[in-house]
Chain A
Amino acid sequence: MGGPGLPIPPDAEGGPNTSTKRGDRIFAGVSRGAGLVIMLALAGVFVFLAVEGFPGISQPATNYAPETTFWPYVGKLLFGTIFAAVIALVIAVPFALGIALFIAIYAPRRIAVPVAYVIDLLAAVPSVVFGLWGAFTLAKHLTPMYQWLYDHFSWIPLFKGPPSATGRTLLTAGLVLAIMILPIITAISREIFAQTPRLHREAAMALGATRWEMVRLTVFPYARSGIVSAVMLGLGRALGETMAVAIVLSASPLTTINIISSNNPATIASNIANKFAEATPAQLHVLIATGLALFALTFVVNFAARAIVGRAEKRLAG
């Protein structure tokens, strides 16, 4: 891509046309201002959440039910948040990589283009509709599976049960989350797969590698850091997703790794959505404080993902 902005504008020599110069200066200033607004907005998110959230750390004990202080309260919510996101990742990553391989390498173009479009459409479905579908339909259809898991695998702590009769469990929520983060992981990894140098791929095939060996020997090594960052961006999405979890689960802050029972750990975001309408001002401060914790968590995850991408790009460029 040719870089724009190389040519020197004609009036840079200091011509007599001052109105032109003023126009240029104003336009440059305005567009720079827009850039600064973005920086301010992001700083504002931190500042305002901190100002409103800080009082939430030291409220009377009743506001932290079932806990009595802030840190265990937010700790349990953090556990639920991360646990649900990890379940979603475990389910979504293999599928996302499979689809990305399908679109970038395996499928003929005729099929790959519409499939890519359909997967992108998944990203367009509003999260509240996903929640509706998950709570209403998917959950009902999963109850026999939970019963079966309980009957055969209850010795695994994850499936200790007793299975929820409604099917609205953490595993269902994780499944819905997985479907929701599938498009972003797929989109990023398929782009990186497609960037694998053609010569590498053809050289592997010419040496007699099967297609899978070609993928394993040329595509994966090339795309490794891209995959890692795609997964982390998906993780960021899953951590912050609100409505799907809020609708699917009727949850409370608790720690359990039992994912098929009706006692489910709440996530930070779902906890805010569920408690928000009836919150007193004191509880509102608490909720905003947990929101700040969520923001910090996703910020770190996204930061790390972008840093990995940036480093990989530098390596590939150099």
Chain B
Amino acid sequence: MITSTNLAPPPAPEIRQSLSLTQVSLPRWAPALVGVLSLAAGGLLAVLFGWGPVATVVVAGFVYLVALPTWSFVVENRRRAVDRLMTTLVWGATAVAIVPLVWLVYLVISKGVGGISGAFLTHDSHDPLAVDVGIAHALVGTLLVTLVAAIISVPIGILAAVFLVEYGKGSRIARIITFLVDVMTGIPSIVAGLFALSLFVLILGPAIRFGFGGSVALSLLMIPIVVRSTEEMLRLVPDDLREASYALGVPKWRTIVKVVLPTALGGIITGVTLSVARVIGETAPLLVVCGATNTINHNVFSGRMMTLPVYIFYQFTQPGVVPRSAPPGSDPPGIGHAWAAAFVLIALVLLLNLVARLVGRIFAVPTK
């Protein structure tokens, strides 16, 4: 056994030496100490005035924001105090910004999971009196519309990127296209929807609403994302590979198809997946062009088509009436459906993001 005297805490000067050579400064643990004290102050006030946990944390945050710089101002100097204030603000901004995301995800899970069932995923809702209503029609619609949008935009996007990187490099037309792609990224989604609507109204008459129109609108939003990500990936492919291929007498187009594109494949798939994840949640263009329906429609070229985001919107805006049997004060049935569908939609988006990350990691472009 070692006696306690041997374990005496190290003398204070040692800490001082390691911190500053010329100037008095707060000890390393000062922020932690102030943090604990602020929380205690917030807690105390909360107990006195009966506040909730949110108010406690907010008050504690403000106490910290004032106390630490003040202490620093008294002991150190004004510059250090400002620095500590800004550091606190930067950390605080980040912490506050995470709150909505956590809150939202928690809410969607807690309110949505209860509504998910086999019947909910496999039934449509054409019969309002049926016990089993579901989102099958919206699910089918979302998948079909997005699939067709991908079929349109992936070839165009990849080929355009090939043109920008391999053929048109530095030319005037390439510069114009690059600029237009940048501008296209900023097109509001509802404008894309109105464009598709105007296009097909002119061709097919004013009452036209069908899935393909939604696909065209989504393509307009998807193409710039595919072009940008593919362009970046193609630029990462080392020139050595291209030169080696040319040296073997392989023509340029076969070099691109057999060497450049396969090398960048992982990155391209990641970009495409992320772009799908981006447009699968788009509501406004589909609301405008695809219309809404209660039954499953497998044909994107004819008839209205329901999609998940539009389903959520309509369930929320037209939630129906509370059934007599339900306990008083409960939400109309549409609200529950909206949350459950939102859960499915978010799960889809997160899944796509995850797949994109995995693909990106597995097929990372060898840059060395």
Q: Is the CB of A11 within 8 A of B251?
A: yes
| Chain A, 237-259, CB within 8 A of any chain B CB | 237, 239-243, 246-247
Which A-chain residue is minimally distant from B176 (CB atoms)? A39
Q: Does B179 count as interface, using CB distance less than 8 angstroms?
A: yes
In the complex, the answer to whether A20 meets B251 with C-beta atoms within 8 Å is yes
Interface mask (B166-193 → A, CB under 8 Å = 1, otherwise 0):
1111000110110111111111111110
- Is A137 in contact with B107, judged by CB distance below 8 angstroms? yes
Residues of chain A within 8 A (CB-CB) of B281 are: 124-129
Over the window 79-96 of chain B, the binary record of Cβ atoms lying under 8 Å from chain A Cβ atoms (1 yes, 0 no) is: 110110111011111101
In whole angstroms, what is the CA distance A106 to B181 when docked?
33
- Chain B nearest CB from A230 CB (Å) reads 13
Contact of B90 among A5, A101, A295 (CB under 8 A): A101
Pick from A10, A44, A284: contact of B250, CB below 8 A: A10
Q: Is the CB of A99 within 8 A of B167?
A: no
B243 engages A7 (CB within 8 Å): yes
Interface size for B (C-beta < 8 A) is 109
Is A171 positioned at the interface, with any CB of B under 8 Å from its CB?
no
- Could you say which residues of chain A place their CB within 8 Å of the CB of B80? 210
- Listed in ascending order, the chain B residues whose CB lies under 8 Å from chain A are 79-80, 82-83, 85-87, 89-94, 96-98, 100-101, 103-104, 107-108, 155-160, 162-169, 173-174, 176-177, 179-192, 194-195, 197-199, 201-202, 206, 220, 223, 227, 234-239, 242-243, 246-247, 249-257, 260, 277-278, 280-284, 287-288, 292, 309, 312-313, 316-317, 335, 338-339, 342, 345-346, 349-350, 353
The closest CB in chain A to the CB of B223 belongs to A38
CB distance from A44 to the nearest CB of B (A): 7
A233 within 8 Å of B (CB atoms): yes
A interface bracket (residues with beta carbon within 8 Å of B): 35 or more
Bound-state Cα–Cα, A66 to B273, Å: 45
List chain B residues, Cβ under 8 A from A2.
Answer: 238-239
Given A95-B93, A98-B89, A135-B316: A291 in contact with B283 (beta carbons within 8 A): no
Compute how far the CA of A141 lies from the CA of B218 in the bound complex, rounded to whole angstroms. 34
Q: Are B163 and A31 in contact (CB under 8 A)?
A: yes
Instruction: Give which listed residue, B93, B195, B280, contacts A94 with CB less than 8 A.
Output: B93
CB<8 Å pairs between A and B, sample of 28: A4-B165, A7-B243, A17-B251, A23-B253, A27-B253, A31-B166, A32-B173, A35-B164, A52-B201, A102-B90, A106-B90, A122-B101, A124-B278, A124-B353, A126-B282, A126-B342, A128-B342, A130-B104, A132-B312, A133-B100, A136-B335, A237-B186, A243-B284, A269-B188, A272-B288, A273-B288, A277-B292, A306-B183
- Could you list which residues of chain A lie within 8 angstroms of chain B, going by C-beta atoms? 1-11, 17, 20-21, 23-24, 26-28, 30-35, 37-39, 41-42, 44-45, 48-49, 51-53, 94-95, 98-99, 101-103, 106-107, 115, 118-119, 121-122, 124-133, 135-137, 179, 182, 210-213, 215, 233, 236-237, 239-243, 246-247, 269, 272-273, 276-277, 281, 284, 287-288, 291, 294-295, 298-299, 301-303, 305-306
A129-B252 contact, Cβ under 8 Å, with A45-B195, A247-B317: no
Q: Which of B91, B173, B194 contacts A272 (CB 8 A)?
A: B194
Known A-B contacts A41-B220, A273-B190; A182 and B165 likewise in contact (beta carbons under 8 Å): no
Docked-complex contact A247 and B191, CB < 8 angstroms: no
Please, which residues of chain A bring their CB within 8 A of the CB of B164?
35
